[in-house]
Every structure is written in structure tokens, then in C-alpha cells.
Amino acid sequence: MRGRLTIPVVDSAGDIVAISGRAVEKTDDQAKYMHYVFPTSRVLFGLWMNRRTAFDAGVLVLTEGQLDVITAWQAGMRCVAACFGAHFSEHQLALATRYTSTVAVLFDDDTAGQQGAQTAVAKCKTTGGAQVHIISGVLHGQDLDEYIRAGGDWHQLLATITTSNQPLDDDERLRRKLKLTT
């Protein structure tokens, strides 16, 4: 974990189940995240602290990384969880649908992120467990953490939540539901 920010991983019961580490400085020979062995497919990072708001808002915004959740929280977004990369498991879907019937997938704009988002949509449609919306094309090659820290616009993100290319809801109403600060 040398050179990494260590992050406790808390499950949906509020128990610490693992420690994860994110590289502080990017290098080509070092993975961005490192996890001590634990079943990442059985945990949604941030769900424990954001479950109430996700329930109240009726939507959970799903991202790839822990810092995406932490930075979103600091920016005022209180219904975000991460699935430890671009893989969204059936167990994670079951966890999410305990608290909401709508999942908005905001994975990175890279190939892996967009393929993962399409897989998440397929899983949600197959199980019938949740409505799913993909937010894409607004991070401009950044992850959510980088986007927010660079002054990214939440209005733009919310305006692009779509299903079948139709807006899910108007921007201001979503801002109120998601309890975003301006």
C-alpha cells in the first residue's frame, strides 16, 4: 500500500470488510486501485452511507471507483455508489435494488467503462430488478473524481441521464431529488 491512499471498504451492513488503496500518483507500471483479497462483486462502495438518500431520491448513481464516490459526496451528491471497476455483478444489482428501483450508470468514458455500462443495462433488463439509465459522453475522458475536481457541471451530467434517448426527468427536479447543492 506504499504510495496509496488507503480506504476502508464497508459493506451494506456497515461492517468494514476490506482495505483498498488508490495510487496517489499515476504511473504506467502501477494499477490505479489495489484491493486486499475480498469479493468486490459482493459490495457497493458508498452504499452504506448513501442508502437513505438513494431510497428517498429513488435513484442510485453507480460509478467505478471509490474516489468517484468520495468526491461526489463532497460535491453534494448523496446517492452514489461504486462497484470497484466497470464490472457490475448480479449481487451488486440486488444490493442496489434493496434501496431504489432506478440505477443511473456513470462509468468512465473509456472503452471498458462503456462496455461495463452496457453490461449493467443488460443485467438490469434481464432480471427486471431496476430501471437503468446510462450517463455517457460528459466526462470527456476523465473519471467522475477528476471531472468534479476540474469544475465539471452536475447540471450537464443530470441532463444526460437517458433511457432510449429520452430524458429521465428535468434537471431541476432531479437536482432536488438527488439533494445536490449548487
What confidence score (pLDDT) does residue 164 get? Answer: 31
CA atoms within 13 A on the CB side of 168: 24
150/100 Cα distance (integer angstroms): 30
What confidence score (pLDDT) does residue 108 get? Answer: 84
Question: What is the overall mean pLDDT for the chain?
Answer: 76
**Domain residue spans of the chain:** 40-178
Amino acid at residue number 113: G
CA angle 89, 29, 85 (to 5 degrees): 15
pLDDT digits (tens, 9 = 90+) for 44-97: 999 998 889 888 878 888 998 888 999 888 888 888 999 888 888 888 888 888
Give the single-character DSSP code of 182.
Answer: -
Highest CATH level, class, for 40-178: alpha beta
Global pTM reads 0.77
